[in-house]
Amino acid sequence: MSELRVGLLTLIALSVLATLSLQIKPLHLFSGEQGEIVARFASVEGLTPKASVLVAGVKVGRVRAINLRDGQAFVTIALDQPVQITQGTQAHVRGGGLVGERYVVLTVPLDAPVLAQGATIEGRQEPSMGQVMEQVSDIARDVKSVTEGLRAALGGEEGADRVQRFMDNLDAVSASLKHILSDDEAQLRGASKDLATVLDALARDLPDTVADTKRAMGGLREVMDQRQGDLSGAITALRSAAERIDRLAKQVEEGDGSAARFIRDPSLFDEVRDAAASIKRVSQALEGTDGALGLLINDAETADRLGGTLEKVDNMVGKVDAFRTTIDFHDEYLLRDQVSRGYFGLRFQPRDDRFYRVELVSDGQVRASHDPNHRLYGRGFGSNDLKFSLQFGWSVDGLEPRIGIKENTFGMGLDWYLANGIALTSDLYDMDGVYSGSTKPHFKIAARYRFWDERLFVAAGGDNLLDTAVRSPYVGAGLVFSDEDFKYLLGQVF
């Protein structure tokens, strides 16, 4: 009797457990699968069986198996939920960080025909962390090669001596500038006015020179147009006379004797007479004032005008050939403030030892000082992030001192060109710190390395070095184009 009771209680308990399990989750006799699809990948690095399968961030299945066929990976996906897989569905293998689990994400387009069970879809793999690290390693090797070039140029006792002399010179220049700015401010203003006067004179003289050249060419064209008919007639007459003389020479060479043939053949005499008449007409055209060549030969004023015009044209062509133009685009990124400055510059060099530099600067510090979420918010960098520079400079044995306007303020700079495409640059401007976010002058120094025929360059240096509150290291890169590059591009286009 007790055994019967135990059996009945056991049956009742099993029935209750079965009922509760059916109410909590539907019972599926074959692992609850709702369907199966296959995704084809070129590579499934890091993906393992039983990995999760997501649609719109919701887990809908798992990876059942991964097989290799014909050099490609075929991933069998078992769906645990009733998801309609349509045409155009793509599978992506993604990961959750450096060591996170790899999983499959399905991108299912809407309003497309539904695929059959077991259909094959295309797979796409996102770049793995190993590939990203490999690219970072390549970049690190490139940076290392650049730093090795800088070390080779500046290393050793000779390079250290150069840097020390350069820093000593900068110290002397800084002290001199401080003395000049404190005692001779009036003289600097006068020098700035003189520079503006020189630029104004250059702007006035250049249009006059171009206008004179145009007038001279117009006068020459007018003279040639007026005498074009006479010159064409003279050329035609000379051609006709030459043809007749050629025929006469052939007849003389092929006859029994020139004198006898000339006497016996009346037509030969007539041809000679016609040729003489043609030559006479040509000589009269040259001697008279109606012919263009005669006007140039007999009229001294016309000859002088033509000579002067040609001389002006020759001088203008020489000046144009000597004039060189360089355009550069570069950007500087301040590492401490995490802002950048963009530069567009033009360099005009009419002579080997003189040049003018014009720049437009987009200052990211100005924009950052108006951003409440930035550390520079409220600092005095001004209100206009677009600034202008105009400087005049000299070229002497690899050194190029500059003076003029630098980013809307008076400033000066020095460029020192070393060997192997390396140059050191420095600038001192904004003496009152109005646009530098401080009360001290804005002083920056950098080293540049130019490569690829000096069309590309990278730079590294320090900005606003005189004020510790806003001092920041920076890196930069840029492109340089010369007028020869533009001539080549125009030649390729036209």
Segments in the chain below pLDDT 50: 24-31, 259-260
Do both 403 and 299 map to the same domain? no
Of the candidates 248, 257, 294, the residue with the CA atom closest to the CA atom of residue 275: 248
Residues 426, 333: Cα–Cα separation, whole Å:
17
Judgement on whether residues 316 and 327 belong to the same structural domain of the protein: no
What DSSP string describes 235-303?
HHHHHHHHHHHHHHHHHHHHSS-HHHHHHH-HHHHHHHHHHHHHHHHHHHHHHSSSSHHHHHHH-HHHH
Provide the 10 A C-beta neighbour count for residue 297: 13
Which of 103, 130, 157 terminates a domain? The answer is: 130
- Give a yes or no: residue 329 inside a domain: yes
The domain total for the chain is: 3
Q: Residue 31: its pLDDT value, please? A: 44
Per residue in 62-109, pLDDT tens? Answer: 999 999 898 889 999 998 888 888 888 989 888 766 566 888 999 888
**Whole-number Cα distances in Å, 301 to 226, 291, 297, 438, 453:** 16, 15, 10, 68, 52
Helix (H) or strand (E) holding 429: strand 422-429
Q: Are residues 95 and 35 in the same domain?
A: yes
Q: Give the span between the Cα atoms of 432 and 371, in whole angstroms.
A: 24
Is residue 352 located within the same domain as residue 450? yes
Backbone angles phi, psi at 329, to 5 degrees: -120, 125
pTM over 0.75: no
**Residue 402 maps to which CATH number?**
2.40.128
Q: Are 296 and 306 in contact (CB under 8 A)?
A: yes
User: In terms of domains, do 296 and 413 share one?
Assistant: no
Whether residue 306 is found in the same domain as residue 387: no
Output phi, psi for 279, to 5 deg.
-65, -35
Which of 270, 293, 320 is a domain's end point?
Answer: 320
Tell whether 18 is covered by a domain.
Answer: no
Taken in order 316, 318, 320, 324, the sign of the CA dihedral is negative
Q: Which sign does the torsion angle of CA 283, 289, 290, 295 carry?
A: positive
Q: Tell me whether residue 166 is in a domain.
A: no
CB within 8 Å of 121: residues ≥ 6 apart: 37, 38, 39, 40, 85, 89, 90, 91, 115
Q: Are residues 234 and 342 in the same domain?
A: no
Same domain, 239 and 335: no
Contact 471, 464 (CB under 8 A): yes
What span, in angstroms and rounded, lies between the C-alpha atoms of 66 and 415?
Answer: 63
Q: Do residues 54 and 63 make contact, with C-beta atoms less than 8 angstroms apart?
A: no
Residues 339 and 414 in one domain: yes
* DSSP β-ladder status, 52-55 and 35-41: unpaired
Is 292 inside a domain boundary?
A: yes
What CA–CA distance (Å, rounded) separates 404 from 194?
Answer: 11
Domain boundary among 291, 320, 349: 320
Percentage of the residues of the chain whose pLDDT score is greater than 90: 21
Torsion (CA) 416, 417, 419, 422 in degrees, nearest 10: 90
176: left (phi > 0), else alpha (psi -120 to 50), else beta? alpha
Phi, psi angles (nearest 5°) of residue 70: 55, 40
Tens of pLDDT, residues 28-70? 433 455 788 999 998 888 888 988 899 888 889 999 999 989 8
User: Are residues 436 and 305 located together in one domain of the fold?
Assistant: no
Q: Are residues 285 and 377 in the same domain?
A: no
Q: Answer positive or negative: Cα dihedral of 426, 427, 431, 436.
A: negative
Assigned domain for 272 exists: yes
What is d(CA 358, CA 133) in angstroms, rounded to the nearest whole number? 41
CATH number at residue 99: 2.40.10
Which pLDDT score, from 0 to 100, does residue 307 have?
A: 67
What pLDDT score was predicted for residue 29?
Answer: 39
Residues 278 and 309 grouped into a single domain: yes
What per-residue confidence (pLDDT) applies to 28? 42
**Residue ranges making up the domain that contains 460:** 323-493
Name residue 429's amino acid. Y
* Any domain includes 67: yes
pLDDT computed for residue 424 by the predictor:
95
* Beta carbons within 10 angstroms of residue 493's beta carbon: 6
In a domain, 99, yes or no: yes
The answer to whether residue 76 sits within a structural domain is yes
